[in-house]
């Protein structure tokens, strides 16, 4: 029997539920810690970033309009598929970062557990973040959290999978849509995550993932008028103050970079930081 030729995996961008190459045609080499070639990844451009924001904005009403219970079920389905592809993700992490199989497996397990943790908050966080406010008068005064809109994320740059999961998941809980820039040195797991999202029930355009240079893409995302929040959790090595200034021109809220092993640790605050509070007054029946 003739020996089969290997079929190398192609890693592309994830925009609007599809996997296009960069419109610029650019790629860059992803290598192992020893310098061995692993794959070519798309080097996303400004145009790719604009396309991703457009896709995210277009998907906003469908994802935000889903019930909180439904969003939780959809996110749990993502965790199920991640679990089924655990071996693949662990192997990619080993290849990209050089850690042992045990360490890579632990990262995948933590990423799955974190996704499940956030999925469970979908139909619960509003009860914690909202309130029935006391007022002097015959009124009900109710405050409820609502999604901010399109969130641009610079994912943590020191992990292949856990960091991007930790940043994307809380943004989705409240009904936001996402444009995420993956870790530049470890982008392969982010595109494999995109494949999981594409084969789950997450509506097309809800999550968009770009690979390439955060330094090149972040300024365009920070200044984009359709981006409503900017999560700079992984932008500590960039000139993030300039990004914050650019975001201020469009009144975009900014989450500043986080450092250390607890960066992007799971918390209710990461969910509520990407919500707006709406207060509704309603008269009480006098009958």
Q: Is the pLDDT of residue 55 over 90?
A: yes
Q: What is the mean pLDDT of residues 29-52?
A: 97
Domain boundaries, the chain: 27-283
- What mean pLDDT, rounded, does the chain reach? 94
Q: What is the mean pLDDT of residues 34-63?
A: 97
Query: What pLDDT is attached to residue 270?
Result: 95
Q: Is 261 in contact with 285 (CB distance < 8 Å)?
A: no
Residues in a beta bridge with 84: none
Residue, of 2 and 286, whose pLDDT is higher: 2
Query: What pLDDT is attached to residue 35?
Result: 96
- Going 128 to 129 to 135 to 138, the CA torsion angle's sign is negative
Q: Is the pLDDT of residue 82 over 80?
A: yes
Architecture of the domain delimited by 27-283: 3-Layer(aba) Sandwich (3.40)
Query: What pLDDT is attached to residue 261?
Result: 65
Task: Read off the pLDDT of residues 132-175 as tens digits, 9 standing for 90 and up.
Answer: 888 888 888 889 999 999 999 999 999 999 999 999 999 999 99
């Amino acid at each position: 029997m003739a020996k089969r030729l290997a079929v190398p995996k192609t890693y592309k961008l994830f925009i609007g539920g599809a996997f296009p190459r960069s419109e610029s045609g650019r790629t860059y080499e992803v290598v192992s810690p020893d310098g061995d070639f692993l794959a070519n990844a798309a080097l996303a451009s400004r145009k790719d970033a604009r396309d991703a924001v457009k896709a995210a904005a277009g998907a906003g009403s469908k994802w935000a309009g889903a019930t909180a219970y439904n969003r939780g079920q959809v996110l749990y389905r993502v965790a199920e598929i991640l679990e089924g592809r655990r071996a693949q993700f662990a192997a990619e992490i080993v290849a990209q970062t050089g850690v042992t199989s045990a360490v890579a497996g632990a990262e995948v397990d933590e990423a799955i557990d974190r996704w499940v943790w956030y999925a469970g908050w979908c139909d619960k966080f509003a009860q914690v973040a909202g309130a029935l406010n006391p007022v002097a008068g015959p009124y009900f005064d109710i405050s409820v959290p609502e999604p901010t809109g399109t969130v641009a994320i610079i994912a943590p740059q020191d992990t292949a999978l856990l960091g991007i999961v930790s940043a994307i998941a809380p943004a989705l809980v409240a009904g936001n849509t996402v444009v995420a820039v993956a870790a530049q040195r470890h982008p392969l797991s982010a595109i494999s995550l995109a494949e999981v999202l594409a084969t789950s029930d997450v509506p097309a355009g809800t999550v968009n993932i770009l690979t390439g240079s955060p330094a090149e893409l972040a300024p365009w995302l920070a200044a984009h008028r359709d981006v409503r929040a900017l999560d700079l959790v992984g932008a500590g090595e960039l000139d993030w103050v300039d990004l914050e200034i650019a975001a201020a021109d469009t009144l975009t809220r900014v989450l500043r970079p986080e450092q250390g092993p607890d960066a992007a640790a799971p918390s209710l605050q990461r969910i509520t930081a990407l919500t707006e509070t709406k207060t509704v007054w309603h008269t009480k029946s006098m009958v």
